[in-house]
Structure 1
Amino acid sequence: MDFAAANTTPSQRITQLLAQYGAPRVCAAHLLCDRHHPESIAYRVVASDLSVDAFTYGDLKLQSERFAAALAAQGVRPGDRVATLMGKSKEFLITLMGIWRLGAVHVPLFTAFAPAAVALRLTGSQAKVVVCDAGQRGKLDPGPDMPAGAPWAIITVGGAAGARGTGFQQALDEQAPGFEAATLGPDSPLIQIYTSGTTGRPKGVVVPVRALASFHAYAELSLGLRPDDTYWCAADPGWAYGLYFGVLGSFTTGVSSVLLKAGFDAALTYKVLEQCGVTNFAAAPTVYRSMLASDAKPGALRIRCASSAGEPLTPEVNQWAIGALGVPVYDHYGQTETGMSICNHHDPRLAGAVKPGCMGTPMPGWSAAVLAKDADVPAAVGEVGRVVFDLQASPLAWFSGYESEPEKSAEKFTADGRWYVTGDLGQVDADGYFQFSSREDDVIIMAGYRIGPFEIESVLTVHPAVAECAVIAVPDAVRGEVIEAYVVPRQGNGASDALEKDLQRWVKERYAAHAYPRKVHFAQQLPKTPSGKVQRFVLREQRRQALEREAAQAAA
């Protein structure tokens, strides 16, 4: 396992990690797998019936060598993109390590995505191979949203391989271990992951090997991982936090981790925490709020550290967590383009008071600030402005721009190149604690998933009954935010419950099952600027006022 010596300071540790992951001859497979003791447990893969499959680093090395050879036999070379449309499983871990052992680039696909969202990411990344679960295989069949004669090969886990396909186990069985790991250097790409905004298609973020220094630093200093921990990050690895820290956070440190194959259930979560002896737990606030709202009761838990990321943590969660979990939940902030960077740190050398509503202080290796909304000058203490990072003083920063998107990339940096602009608004107090206020770009964060309104609107507007539409976030007690849509029907299509249900189904089938609008409001027109841009903030304010009126009427 790779952890700092007891007498190492946080700043010294950052220097060590930068040297380690920035070495000219750095090898991803060595850092993430081969250097760990072969008999140490990498993951306990837990099924819904609580059966456990313990998976060692020795197992991972041998199986990923076979899978790297299988990819090479498919014509994959270093730098090529390989996508995964997979749930959490041992096969998923083998696939990732095989991709990185070969020197290829992982493209994560969330399993709730509909074919159109999958196709967009596959074509955008120019993926050569897709590895998918049998239950996801149908999404890759030619159809209205999936091109015929697609250039990617398909490897299927379980079930029939289908046309243009190979079975996962067959691919492994046909190869021998011993595939030599690629040594490509710190700037070689490791991941191409897609993030969403409000004014365009999803943007590709290429994560280089040297970004692992930042991910490792977060695992040690903010999550507070120790060699004797049993760690469980419950986030889905189809998204940045679950991939960066549910997988890479474990692989960089070598800490023994848990992977649950089943979907979320509060009672099951408590059982896994107890049975596996989890001491360090991380999840989106939605998970904690769902546990809070359930009738399930915790057993004998051993949690030492609990962390939250993906959306702001509300105070009532900690009021519950101290009694139910035995510890408070520490809020952490980050982005797909940075990893985590402002946190309430678990490392005792960095730990301070946990202030309600605050996302903490900058992690060592990152320098954060709040600039005025309309000028690149520091905002006053307590003044809401733009949350930014000083790239001249942030050696852990690694994002240089979106793949083939120069204009969108330029928006993420100030004109002089000094500041990385998060697109979030916040404030900082006299003690250096940051508090999140809102997002500038209207991105919706639902249950920890970042959803771009433009993507949902693009799906809705092709419905034959929709003339135009806008999508906003509305507060929700469990998910943090949910999606609601404002729709102007085409002539001859009136508002109705049937049309609302059809639009919800439309989004589920054409974008993602989790991202449908929970409510559809029908309108004659949408508020717009003189140039014709929809003013989502006006709709948000109208909805906020309506909800306040409804609450007041219910209380009367």
Structure 2
Amino acid sequence: MKHYADNFAHEHLPLQELQPDYILDHPDFQFPESLNCVDRLLDDHIKQGRGNRVAISTFTEIWTYQDLYDKSNQIAHVLVDDLGMVSGNRVLIRSANNPMFVACWFAVLKAGGIVVATMPLLREKELTVMIDSAEISHALCDVRLMDEMSGVQSTFLKQTCTFDGSNENPGELEQLMASKPKDFKNYHTLHDSIALIGFTSGTTGKPKMTSHFHRDILLICEAFPKYSLQPTPEDIFTGSPPLGFTFGLGGLVLFPFYYGASTFLIEKPTPELLLQAIDRHKITICFTAPTAWRIITTLVKDFDIASLRKCVSAGETLPFKVWEDFHAATGLKIIDGIGSTEILHIFISSHEGNMRKGATGLPVHGYEAKIIGADGSELPVNEPGRLAVRGVTGCKYLNAPDKQKEYVENGWNITGDVFKKDEDGYFWFVARGDDMIISSGYNISAIEVENVLLGHEDIAECAVVGLPNEERGMLVCAHIVLKNKALASDAKTKEIQEWFKSAAAPYKYPREIHFVDALPKTETGKIQRFKLKN
């Protein structure tokens, strides 16, 4: 049976023998063969009479489940009736975290499309790579973010429709929605039909496309939140990760709606705004990165956070001091976790009953993990090695068989992290296994930053590494050889940094720049980055 009219995504899935093993035998992980995940996440709440419950709040808006349902259905009609979307088309969403982003996300899946959610900081070049890689035909873009979008040149992109995420000046999408019915028959496909494509940060300059099925969306809702959070319909979620990250998508949309709870969205979520939201809107569950938890600890005394019952940290390893300081200030225990775009969400974590200070935790419900050596054999207790994971979800790179073989070995997902496992089965983070820089919760590819820098007219060579930093976890540090070495100065540093921010997403820019006469290299010309890290 064919999944979609446009079967591009499925035609580029890895061969079955290259995919990981899945563990789906537990009753929690049984879903019907014919599936649209939006039925469970949204439509069922309406059928069961919960339409008047709050689904999404912001500092200025409140949407009920009925509001979200109506608007998602109207957008689905626009996609099919006006924009010519057919099932299997890839649809890019470009927006900050706001209710219209969520409505668009549900609408694309209702109509049988495949969602490609992106972050607002991405620039024209990065968007073009995504659009060309996934052969994206349609884009829904917040009108406030059209500057970079309007410069995209791609033969694949047929339609771009704007909306206003601030709800102040209706865009094209809102105008088209106005005349549409508020009901829509969801496109039912197979449980292993692709629902979303998430782009990794890419270690070779070109990001990889990870794909996830409709069943995967629901499976992660039965895994981490059931294990660590025990959500109820009374919970209110908030957090800082963009919905373009699967960490943010799970924590701020999928988990709350699966359990009939609500979410509080903040477009530019600073630690201060997170605390304001918790104080004023009685947030119970908060997702953010270790950097933010550290700042929140210093500010928390000025806010009432009595409503807060669960704090989740991911995106980078949680320093023990941050955990300890926050616990001392609030009495709350931050739940650390490790996940990946490839596996969709958190697969090793803890809950308050089994938490061990300093450890990442144990495999969550639905996953198992082990530490392996270079030859794939399992290593003894407390010996650092490669983290291998398998469970209800796993890596399915599109159109990248070589990368798929690197990530999946003998049915196990190899995450690229170095961990060790203690005698009680707890997993402890040791290091990243590659040159990915994790700064303030963002994954930044050193190679990608180098590729951008090499586009500057004054730069002859460069090498980028991550350096430890107490505030951000790691800093992006660039070692640059100028064509004219006499130009090296503080002014040149500032000029390159500002130039970079206009050429690529600002969070990737090198916060430290060292001008050098030459880069350390092997006899074969390979840059020795480890020397720069020292």
Using a 3 Å threshold, how does the CA distance of structure 1 residues 108 and 493 change in structure 2: closer, same or farther?
farther
Using a 3 Å threshold, how does the CA distance of structure 1 residues 176 and 435 change in structure 2: closer, same or farther?
same
Is the Cα contact below 8 Å between 1:84 and 1:109 reproduced in 2?
yes
Using a 3 Å threshold, how does the CA distance of structure 1 residues 136 and 493 change in structure 2: closer, same or farther?
farther
Which residue identity is paired with 1:114? R
Which residue identity is paired with 1:89? N
Give the alignment of 1:348-359 within 5 angstroms: 351-356=353-358, 358-359=359-360
Scaled by the length of structure 2, the TM-score of the pair is 0.89
Using a 3 Å threshold, how does the CA distance of structure 1 residues 139 and 333 change in structure 2: closer, same or farther?
same
Give the alignment of 1:141-540 within 5 angstroms: 141-142=150-151, 146-147=152-153, 151-158=157-164, 167-216=172-221, 217-261=223-267, 263-294=268-299, 297-338=302-343, 339-346=345-352, 351-356=353-358, 358-372=359-373, 374-389=374-389, 391=390, 394=391, 396-400=392-396, 402-414=397-409, 417-491=410-484, 494-540=487-533
1:17 to 4, 28, 31: 28
Cα displacement (A) at 1:17:
3.2
Deviations 1:231-285 (Å, cap 9, x if unpaired)? 2233211212001322122222222222123x23333322210222112222111
Is the Cα contact below 8 Å between 2:136 and 2:156 reproduced in 1?
no
Is the Cα contact below 8 Å between 2:395 and 2:408 reproduced in 1?
no
Cα displacement (A) at 1:223:
2.8
Match for residue 54 of structure 1? 62
Cα distance in structure 2, aligned partners of 1:480 and 1:18 = 35
Which residue identity is paired with 1:302? S
Is the Cα contact below 8 Å between 2:360 and 2:428 reproduced in 1?
yes
Cα distance in structure 1, aligned partners of 2:62 and 2:311 = 23
RMSD value, Cα: 2.3
Is the Cα contact below 8 Å between 1:526 and 1:534 reproduced in 2?
yes
Match for residue 14 of structure 2? none
Using a 3 Å threshold, how does the CA distance of structure 1 residues 535 and 214 change in structure 2: closer, same or farther?
farther
Is the Cα contact below 8 Å between 1:32 and 1:248 reproduced in 2?
yes
Using a 3 Å threshold, how does the CA distance of structure 1 residues 197 and 309 change in structure 2: closer, same or farther?
same
Identity of aligned residues (%): 28
Q: Secondary structure at 1:438's aligned position in 2?
A: strand
Cα distance in structure 2, aligned partners of 1:148 and 1:183 = 30
Q: Secondary structure at 1:155's aligned position in 2?
A: strand
Using a 3 Å threshold, how does the CA distance of structure 1 residues 403 and 530 change in structure 2: closer, same or farther?
farther
Using a 3 Å threshold, how does the CA distance of structure 1 residues 428 and 298 change in structure 2: closer, same or farther?
same
Q: Secondary structure at 1:281's aligned position in 2?
A: strand
Cα displacement (A) at 1:478:
2.1
Is the Cα contact below 8 Å between 1:333 and 1:359 reproduced in 2?
yes
Deviations 1:443-500 (Å, cap 9, x if unpaired)? 1111111111111111001111111111111222222112111111114663111221
Match for residue 114 of structure 2? 105
Deviations 1:491-546 (Å, cap 9, x if unpaired)? 46631112211211122111111111101111122223343332222211x2xxxx
Cα distance in structure 2, aligned partners of 1:436 and 1:319 = 17
Q: Secondary structure at 2:507's aligned position in 1?
A: coil
Which residue identity is paired with 1:113? L
Cα distance in structure 1, aligned partners of 2:287 and 2:329 = 15
Cα displacement (A) at 1:152:
3.2
Cα distance in structure 2, aligned partners of 1:444 and 1:158 = 33
Range with bigger deviation, 478-487 or 528-537: 528-537
Match for residue 79 of structure 2? 71
Range with bigger deviation, 133-142 or 74-83: 133-142
Aligned residues: 503
Using a 3 Å threshold, how does the CA distance of structure 1 residues 295 and 301 change in structure 2: closer, same or farther?
closer
Which residue identity is paired with 1:116? K
Which residue identity is paired with 2:107? G
Which residue identity is paired with 1:183? H
Match for residue 55 of structure 2? 43
Q: Secondary structure at 2:269's aligned position in 1?
A: coil
Which residue identity is paired with 1:421? I
Deviations 1:48-93 (Å, cap 9, x if unpaired)? xxx4x22222221111111001011211111111111101111111
